[in-house]
Amino acid sequence: MKKHLALLTPLLLLAVCCTAQPQPVDIPRQYNFILYDANDLRYNAASPSMKTFFEKWHRVTTTQQGNINIVHIGGSHVQAGTMSNTIRTNLMHAYPGLVAGRGMVFPYSAAAKCNNPRDYRVHCSQKVTLTRNIYKEHTYPLGLCGIAVTANDSLTEISIEMNEPTVRYNTSRIIIFGHSDEGVVPQLRIADRNVYPSYADARTDRFVFNLSQPTDTFSVVLPCQRGEHFTLTGICLDNRHSGFSFHSIGVNGAAVPDYLRCQNFTRDLRMLRPDMVIFGIGINDASGRDFDTAAFRANYLALIDSIRIINPDCAFVFITNNDSFRRLRRNRYEVNRNGFLAREVFYRLADDTDGAVWDQFEVMGGLKSMDKWFKAKLAQKDRVHFTQAGYELIGNLFYNALFEAYASYTKKRTNTKPSSNTTPDSFSNPLDFLNPLSN
């Protein structure tokens, strides 16, 4: 009997390991207007950047060492947070032992009439001034987040509390991006205790806080006095663990040129050194009747060049614009046919960059499909934005397309030599170089 148990135990362990393998999200096929069979990531199988990304994914998940940084950049679809957080939590649930930092966040709702992602709550004690990259003039230079809030003349406290019940990030390092001409230095308040920066870099406007205990609730304290100000341009939450970090960068109304005008975009992004950038910018570029596809492509290529300066091997995924409508007058809308034109540009950009396309336009049903999404309560009345349920569905669809592309790669990998472009990481975590005393 003991002999039989001894033989059975390895088989049971093998069965457990097999059943524990990550799987795509189960999406019921309940909407006949969605083209579920078109839900895939389209790219050249010989793409060196996609191979490098998938090879790193394989290495990190099999060795439990190293970090993968994915950056999702867009407009209001990304600022809303639901799509990005759906992708993020799916990754964390697939690899529960590889939950790295929450990544870049911004306290959007610290400013009046500015919406915040649902996965963290924000409260601000004083009125602050908002600057977005869509403004013609920027009072202060903007960075990666494309947005800033400025505290003036008084002590301002901005509280941030994680609100994602299914994932614990256990933040142990917080990096604040910001600037003050008067030399105001930000602080943290955690459990009624003031925490001062462990390290500050005036050249890059970063203040690094290494925490003695992990936390997912804290306040940023900006101790401005009369005549002083501090402009906050971003916050990065890290836990120094190996695994995935999914950063979402979104500004309501933003188009590609708006990110090009962020003076410190590349400087801030250098800290993350992204392995993959998912582009969700385009719905605002293509909203007008005079949509210039040549300028759209040129602007995108300029933005991509600024990212390749940081990581020449970065993989790019282009999400085609969702189908959308224009408002003519009250309760009267017409379909925006620029979705077709933008879609063609995204495929050209993927070809230009050896990147990939997730054809959201096709998956959701093509031209005029947004009206069907609205009737199914998946889209808002403006027929441009989705409801929370719609964003969750879009996030799940994208995650499955990305996951299936990786699964396909791993199947082929068993019979092929790993990409020669794959090199060991310079740092187990790109954020570790910020403070040589942190480890």
CATH (one of 3.90.1150.10, 1.10.287.130, 3.40.50.1110, 3.40.50.150) for 30-100+243-439: 3.40.50.1110
Domain limits of the chain? 30-100+243-439, 104-240
Which tens digit of pLDDT belongs to each residue from 346-401? 999 999 999 999 999 999 999 999 999 999 999 999 999 999 999 999 999 999 99
| Predicted local distance difference test score (pLDDT) of residue 329 | 74
- Work out the pLDDT band at 414, boundaries 50, 70, 90: confident
Q: Does the pLDDT of residue 13 top 70, yes or no?
A: no
Question: Sign of the CA dihedral 256, 360, 121, 275?
Answer: negative
Among the ranges given (84-98, 108-122, 317-331, 421-435), the one the predictor scored with the smallest mean pLDDT: 421-435
| Predicted local distance difference test score (pLDDT) of residue 432 | 52
How wide is the angle at C-alpha 34 spanned by C-alphas 31 and 36, nearest 5°?
105
104-240 is classed CATH 2.60.120.1360: yes
Tell me the C-alpha distance between 304 and 258, whole Å. Answer: 14
Q: Which residues are CB-neighbours of 114 under 8 A, at least 6 positions away? A: 108, 130, 252
HSE toward the beta carbon, residue 215, CA cutoff 13 A = 20
- The token pair at 367 is 């031209």
E strand residue ranges, 27-135: 41-43, 67-74, 103-105, 120-124, 129-132
Mean pLDDT of 22-27: 95
The DSSP bridge partners found for residue 162 are 120
| Predicted local distance difference test score (pLDDT) of residue 326 | 86
User: Closest by alpha carbon to 51, among 408, 301, 436, 401?
Assistant: 408
Q: Does the pLDDT of residue 20 top 90, yes or no?
A: no
Q: Which residues are CB-neighbours of 435 under 8 A, at least 6 positions away? A: 198, 199, 208, 210
Asked if the domains at 30-100+243-439 and 104-240 fall in one CATH topology, the answer is no
Tell me the C-alpha distance between 322 and 386, whole Å. Answer: 10
Neighbours of 401 (CB within 10 A): 23
Q: Does the pLDDT of residue 4 top 50, yes or no?
A: no
